[in-house]
C-alpha cells in the first residue's frame, strides 16, 4: 500500500498539514492535490480548528513543484483539467475562513510556490528558495502563479520570475513581498508555532471577517471594498467575542474568545 500523500496532526486548535512525499520532494500529483483539497475542506468544517499550518515533509522541500513524470503524458484536455484541479485547491485555501500559514522549509518551486502564495501568511527558512521555473519545461504557471505573483509583488518581479525561471533566495522573496518573514532554519518550527498560537488565541469571527474583507477587497473597486468592510465591522458588534474583547481591554486583562 502506498504511503499517504499527507500527514495531518492536531495540536490543540492548530492543524498541521504536511505534504508527505519527501522522496519526490513533495511534488504535487493528482492524488496529492485531491488529498489537500479534502484536508482543507475538513479543516474549514471542523469547529475545533482555528489555524492551519501547511508544510512539506523532509529537510529539502516545502513542495518542489508539480509531478513532472505525471504531467509528461497528459493530453491538452488533461493538462487543462490538471490546472483547474490545482487552481480549485488554491482558491479553497485562500478563501478558507481560518488563517493558513505556509511554513516554507525548503524548495517552493512552481506549484509549490503557487501553493504557498495561496496561504495567508508565509514564513520561510533562510535556506529556502522559491521560484516559477515552468519556462524551463516549456510550460507556464498553471496553478495561479502568474496572477498571485502579480498581486503580491508587481509586474516587473512577476515577469522576472516567470520569464527567467531562476529560483531566488528567501531573503529576496522577502524583499519582493512574496514571503512575510525569513528566519534561521533551526528557528522555523518555533517561529511558525508562535505565530499559529497567537492566531489560535485571537477572535475567530474577527479573523474570518478580516480574511473575507481582504479577499473581497482584492477583487473589487475601492468603494465596494470599503462598503464590505463596514458591513463586516458592524457584524462584529453582534458577537460575544467583541464584547469580551472590549471588556477585557477596559479591565486590563487578557481576553478569552469563544468563537461566538
Catalytic residue among 34, 70, 94, 114: 114
The pLDDT of residue 2: 53
Model pTM score = 0.94
Q: What confidence score (pLDDT) does residue 260 get?
A: 87
Residues of the chain with pLDDT under 70: 1-2
The yes-or-no answer on residue 160 being catalytic is no
What is the set of domains in the chain, with CATH numbers?
6-200 (3.90.226.10), 203-251 (1.10.12.10)
Given 34, 94, 134, 160, the catalytic residue: 134
Q: Are strands 168-169 and 129-131 parallel, antiparallel or unpaired?
A: antiparallel
- pLDDT for the residue numbered 101: 98
Instruction: Say what the pLDDT of residue 1 is.
Output: 38
219 noted as active-site residue: no
Amino acid at each position: 500500500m502506498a504511503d499517504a500523500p499527507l500527514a495531518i496532526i492536531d495540536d490543540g486548535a492548530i492543524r498541521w498539514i504536511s505534504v508527505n512525499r519527501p522522496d519526490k520532494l513533495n511534488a504535487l500529483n493528482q492524488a496529492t492535490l485531491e488529498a489537500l483539497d479534502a484536508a482543507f475542506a475538513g479543516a474549514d468544517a471542523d469547529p475545533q480548528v482555528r489555524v492551519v499550518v501547511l508544510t512539506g515533509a523532509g529537510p529539502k522541500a516545502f513542495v518542489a513543484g508539480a509531478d513532472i513524470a505525471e504531467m509528461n503524458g497528459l493530453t491538452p484536455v488533461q493538462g487543462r483539467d490538471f490546472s483547474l484541479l490545482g487552481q480549485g485547491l488554491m482558491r479553497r485555501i485562500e478563501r478558507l475562513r481560518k488563517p493558513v500559514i505556509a511554513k516554507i522549509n525548503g524548495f517552493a518551486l512552481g506549484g509549490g510556490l503557487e501553493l504557498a502564495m495561496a496561504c495567508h501568511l508565509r514564513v520561510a527558512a533562510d535556506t529556502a528558495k522559491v521560484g516559477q521555473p515552468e519556462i524551463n519545461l516549456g510550460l507556464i504557471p498553471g496553478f495561479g502563479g502568474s496572477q498571485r505573483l502579480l498581486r503580491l509583488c508587481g509586474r516587473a518581479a512577476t515577469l522576472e520570475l516567470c520569464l527567467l525561471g531562476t529560483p531566488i533566495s528567501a531573503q529576496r522573496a522577502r524583499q519582493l513581498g512574496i514571503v512575510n518573514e525569513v528566519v534561521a532554519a533551526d528557528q522555523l518550527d518555533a517561529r511558525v508555532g508562535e505565530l499559529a498560537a497567537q492566531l489560535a488565541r485571537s477572535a475567530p469571527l474577527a479573523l474570518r471577517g478580516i480574511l473575507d474583507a481582504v479577499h473581497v477587497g482584492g477583487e473589487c473597486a475601492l468603494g465596494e471594498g470599503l462598503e464590505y468592510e463596514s458591513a463586516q465591522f458592524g457584524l462584529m458588534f453582534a458577537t460575544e467575542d467583541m464584547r469580551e474583547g472590549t471588556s477585557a481591554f477596559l479591565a486590563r486583562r487578557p481576553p478569552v474568545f469563544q468563537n461566538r
